[in-house]
Every structure is written in C-alpha cells, then in structure tokens.
Chain A
Amino acid sequence: MRAYAALLRLRCLLLLQYRVAAFAGICTQVFFGLVRVMIFDGFFRSSSLAQPMSFAHTVTYIWLGQALLGMLPWNGDREVQDLIRTGNVSYELCRPVNLNGLWLSRCVALRSAPTALRAVPVILTASLLMPPEYRLAPPASAAAALAWALTTAGAVLLAAAITNLYSIALLWTISGEGIARLVPPFVALLGGMLIPLSFFPDWMQPLLRWLPFSGLMDVPFRLYLGQLGPGDLAGALAHQLGWAFGLALLGQWLISRGLKRVVVQGG
C-alpha cells in the first residue's frame, strides 16, 4: 500500500507543475460555463412549464461541472498509453507491484491533482465575479457540503477505474484505441456534463441512475444542491464504490488476460 501512496503523491506533485496551462484551462472553463448558463437562461425565460430543476440550481450545477471537468474520465493516462504503444510496457512488467494497482494509483492522481488546481479558481470566479443571477451558490447546508465532499472522493475513485480501462483496452491495440475514443462522449452525456441528468426524458431516468456515470457528477452535485438529502448518502456511496470496485476487478481480469497474449511492440 505504501508504494501506491508514494506513486500517487509523486504523480500529483508532477501534475501540479503546469500552472500556466492551468490558468488557460480556468479561462476556458469559465467561458464555457458562462455560455452554458446563458443558454439555460434563454430556455428558462422561454417557457413557464414546470421543470425538474430550478434555474438557480441549474446554474450551480453547471458551474460545479465546469470546475470539476478534469475529474470526468474523458481521456486516458497518456504516459501508460504511450508505454503500451512503444512496447516499453515490458519495463512496467518488471516492477514488483501489481500492474492494475500501479496504473490505478496513477489514474487517481490524474483525476484529482490537476482538477483540484483548476476547481478552486473556477469555483471562486463563479461564486464571486459573476452577475448575481449567474452565480454559483454555496452548498444547501453543512450536511450537504459534507455529503458532496464524500461523494466527490467516491467519484474520483470511480473515474479512475474507468480511466484505467482506456489504457488497458490498448493491450488489444487497434480496437482498444477506438474504445478509448468512443466511450468519453457517452461519459460526458450520461455523467451530467452536457446538461443536468434530470432534464433528460423521464423514461431514461431509471437507466441513468443505474449506470455508473451518474456517480461521477450528477449524484454529488444533487447532494450539494440538497435535491438529495443526507438519507441518500449511503446509497450514493454504495453505487459509486460498487461500480468502482467492479470496474477495477474487470481491469484486473482484462490485464491478466491481455498479458497472456501480449506481444510487446518495438525492439
């Protein structure tokens, strides 16, 4: 366990070095958030129909999504993917640690450190510098804040488990790379990045709640907003951790199968 913790810390320190890139990212996120908020503003002004979520809640949801964008498993671990592509993955096999555990800790670092660096300024900008009706609101209550923090940690683990599968898929080279590109658009849609999941048709809701992706953004955000109460916390965590554990096991199984037939590329 200590080896994995050390790996995690090292990766985090490294990923925190890119500060200018982070600043650029923050501007991009704030801009995207603002455009999205204005689109919803237009929709809410055009209709008096009852909506599953108020405009104020939608605004907060959008800003949280922009702040935590990096947490979504939208890309794989570039370095591990390059290792597989170049054949240097053979060095990884020499290390006296479990490959799945090694890659998973890297994924946890990838999903958390750069996100934390960007999230704080985006949250500050969105809650202080925006016009009043476009502002990110504070959590519904102290309990909501705590529930949000806990499920955000759960979301990082879940996101890491999904991210890791992108790299593992590369052990099946060509088709694997296709998977690593085909899945992220669905993650963005089903996780709540594009629009809050509650706005999707009612018949889709049970499926959306069951799939792992709602645990990435939608569930933590609705706890933050108080739409889900403290009573839902246990169920939410079980959903996240159950999927994270299941997907990590799947990764383990795929790695052991993949390695049996792996042909190291290059020479």
Chain B
Amino acid sequence: MSGIRLYGRYVSLSLQSQMQYRASFVMFALANGLSALLEFFATAALFARFGSLRGWALPEVALFYGMVHTAFALAEAAGRGFDVFHLHVRNGTFDRMMLRPRSTVLQVLGQDFQLLRVGRFAQGLFVLLWGAASLGMRWTAESVFLAVLSVVGGALLFSGLFVLQATLSFWSVEGLEIANTLTYGGVEAAQFPLSIYRKWLREFFVFVVPIGCINYFPLIRILGRGDPLGYPGWAAWVSPAVGLGFFLVSLRVWGVGVRHYRSTGS
C-alpha cells in the first residue's frame, strides 16, 4: 500500500471514531469556532472605539485574521499527532511505531485527524469572506489562487512548528508549552497586519519563524496596497514556498530527533 493510501486509511479510521460521539463532536466543533469568533468580537469592539489601527480598517484586519485562522485550523486538524506526540515519548509507545516498516512521520500524522477544528476553519473563512464583502473586493482568479496557496503554505508552516515541538520532546517532555509561544502566539500576532508591530518582532516573524509570510505579503498584494514596510512585491508569491520550505526543514530536524531517541522503557 502506498504511503498516501495508508494515510487515507488512517484518516478515515480517525473520522469514523470521532463520528461515534456525534453530539459531543458537534459541541466541540462549535466551542472550537466560538473561542476564535469571540476574539474577533473583542477586536471589533476595539475598532468601534478607536476607528482604525495604524491606517488599517476592520474589514482589512478581518482578512488577516481569517487567513491565519484557516491556515492554523488545517494544521491543527492534520498535525494533531505531532501536537500530542510527547505522550508517546513519555509512555514509551513510540517504540511500537519504530518497529513498523513505515516512516515515523506518516504514522504520527496518522494518529489523529481532528475534524473538530472545522469550527475554527469555518469561522476563519466566515470572517475572511465578511471582510472581503465589506471591502467590496473583486476576487480575480489570481487573488483566489494566491489566497488558497498562502493558506496551504501557512498550514505547512504551522505543521512544521508542531513537528519541531514534537522533536523537542525527544530531549525533554517538560516545558513544551514554550512552543505555544510560536504557534498560538504566532496566530495571535498574525491576526493583525505585521506592520503594526515594533521592528524586532516584525523581523522575527519574517526571517526567523516566517509567520508573517502566511498572510501579510499575500494580502498586501491582494488588497493592492503599497507595503508600508517596503518589502518587494514578489514577496507575495514567495510566501507559500516559505511555508513548504519551513515544513521540509522541520522534517529534517525530526529525523535528527528520532536518531537521538531513547525509550523510557517499561
């Protein structure tokens, strides 16, 4: 069986098991979407008080918000296995995966496909479309293509962060919360245009952990605005590739981690 088909099996099994508790699934998905939507409500309240944020209006910020949340939701759904991977290290159950003649990445990915993240995805998409509609934006084929590509690139970037977090657990299963700074903190920061932050934070999110690439550069182009930061226009098209690159690099780091793995035994 090819890797992709095997992964398909994993996903369908995972979906079947989640559908066993339908009522609870629906409520989890609702809660997942709700928490992000309430955050947007708080942002809207601030815009009602202040009018604008450094030249950006609420519908524009809605686009930034929507793109980062849809990307993060995809990564959370698919990358859940890596997010909770430290449990396998702590319990020693990673040994079992290493005995199977398949790549560890495939198996960890296959552990769980969290469909309840559809809640965050749906609200992100809703806020994104609302923003575009209130701006009276005309979607061209190019801008749709760029938006979709960027969301996928963003999902890959966040998945890469989950992989790095999981890799960290080969060395220590404590203090993994530090990774939340980059994942949840990154989502928090990228809900707003990067240009509102201080220089050091901006550059961190462009050159070190390129979360800014998920939405900032593509949206500058889609909105047809000049970049207040003065980055070149082609950055919009490089951004999705940056996500892919980050993901591939984190897989290499994962490989190093796996070689370093020592079972807890038991």
Contacts and interface: CB of A to CB of B under 8 A. Distances in A.
Contacts of A23: 175
A185 B39 CA distance: 9
A250 B41 CA distance: 30
Contact of B53 (A25, A46, A52): A46
A31 B183 CA distance: 12
B42 interface: yes
Interface of A (DSSP majority class)? helix
Contact of A32 (B34, B188, B192, B197): B188
Which bracket fits the contact residues of A?
Answer: 35 or more
Interface string B11-44: 0000000000101100110111011001101100
A117 to B, nearest CB: 13
Contacts of B198: 38
B27 A177 contact: yes
B190 to A, nearest CB: 10
Given A24-B178, A46-B51, A175 B46 contact: no
A200 B197 CA distance: 23
B245 to A, nearest CB: 24
B174 A21 contact: yes
A246 interface: no
Given A24-B178, A27-B181, A194-B42, A35 B188 contact: yes
Given A21-B177, A38-B201, A182 B42 contact: no
Which bracket fits the contact residues of B?
Answer: 35 or more
A174 B188 contact: no
Given A174-B23, A174-B24, A182-B34, A42 B49 contact: no
A1 interface: no
Contacts, number: 116
B192 to A, nearest CB: 6
A45 B52 CA distance: 10
Interface of B (DSSP majority class)? helix
B54 interface: yes
Contact of A28 (B38, B49, B50, B178): B178
Contacts of A177: 24, 27-28
Contacts of B134: none
B51 A185 contact: no
Nearest to B39: A194
Contact of B185 (A28, A47, A188, A195): A28
Contacts of A49: 49-51
A20 B172 contact: yes
B220 to A, nearest CB: 17
A47 to B, nearest CB: 4
Contact of B197 (A38, A45, A182): A38
B31 A27 contact: no
Interface string A182-211: 101110110000110001110000000000
A181 B27 CA distance: 8
B202 to A, nearest CB: 10
A178 B25 CA distance: 9
Given A20-B174, A43-B46, 5 more contacts: A28-B178, A28-B181, A43-B49, A178-B23, A195-B46
Q: Which 7 A-B pairs have the closest CB atoms?
A: A178-B27, A185-B35, A181-B31, A24-B175, A42-B196, A24-B177, A24-B178
13 contacts: A21-B175, A28-B178, A32-B184, A35-B188, A38-B197, A39-B192, A47-B51, A49-B51, A51-B49, A182-B34, A185-B31, A188-B38, A194-B39
Interface of A: 18, 20-21, 23-25, 27-28, 31-32, 34-36, 38-39, 42-47, 49, 51-52, 174-175, 177-178, 181-182, 184-186, 188-189, 194-195, 199-201
